[in-house]
Amino acid sequence: MGSADVLQWITDGYLAGDPIATGAFIAVFFVSGVWQLITGGPF
């Protein structure tokens, strides 16, 4: 299970209303947003 598979599972679960996948989706979005701010990229 690669990172693309994980992202697909999280996205599918988020769209289906799965609470675990929704939490993971929010966490991934938050971490990637913070990483963009740290590296000076667009948010």
pLDDT, tens digit (0-9, with 9 covering 90-100), for 3-42: 788 888 888 988 898 888 888 888 988 998 888 888 887 6
| CB-neighbour burial class of residue 43 (10 A; exposed 0-12, middle 13-18, buried 19+) | exposed
Q: Write the DSSP string, the chain.
A: --HHHHHHHHHHHHHHT-HHHHHHHHHHHHHHHHHHHHHT---
Q: Can you tell me the distance from the alpha carbon of 22 to that of 11, in angstroms, rounded to the nearest whole number?
A: 8
Domains of the chain, by residue range, sit at 3-39
The answer, as to whether pTM is greater than 0.85, is: no
pLDDT, tens digit (0-9, with 9 covering 90-100), for 17-28: 888 888 888 898
